[in-house]
Amino acid sequence: MRLPIAFGASGAVLKALMLVIWRATQSVSVFRLLTVYDPASFWLAETGVGLLFGDRRIAPSGAEALTFELLLVLGFSLQCFVLGVIVQWLLRTLKHDRRTSTSVEGPRA
C-alpha cells in the first residue's frame, strides 16, 4: 500500500507546486496544465464548488477560489493514487507470474 500513497502524495505536491507557480506568474501554459490537460480534476473542482457555494456570481469569492484549488489538488492526488494501485497490482501480478513459472519447471537435473 506504500506505492499508491507515494503516488498520491507526489501528485498532490506536484499539483500544489503548479498552483503556486501559476499564482506567481499567471502563465497561460501553466493554467492550461492545471485545467485543460487534467479534465477529471477540473470537473471535480468545478462540480464541488458548484455544490458547496450554490449561486454563481460574476467573480468568485476568495473561499470559492481556494476551494476550487484545493479540489484540483485533491482530484489529481486521487488520480495518482489510483494509478499507484494499478501499478502495484501489475508489479505483484508480474512477480507472482515469475514465481509460478520458475516453480512449475522445477530444478533441472
Q: What is the mean pLDDT of residues 89-97?
A: 88
In the numeric block, the cell 450554490 is attached to 54
CA separation for the pair 46, 24 (Å, rounded) = 22
Task: Say what percent of the chain tops pLDDT 70.
Answer: 90
Cβ proximity of 81 and 4 under 8 Å: yes
Domain ranges for the chain, please list them: 2-105
pLDDT digits (tens, 9 = 90+) for 52-91: 887 777 778 888 989 999 999 999 999 999 999 999 999 9
pTM of the model as a whole: 0.81
Q: Is the pLDDT of residue 92 over 70?
A: yes
pLDDT digits (tens, 9 = 90+) for 17-27: 999 999 999 99
Q: Is the pLDDT of residue 4 over 60?
A: yes
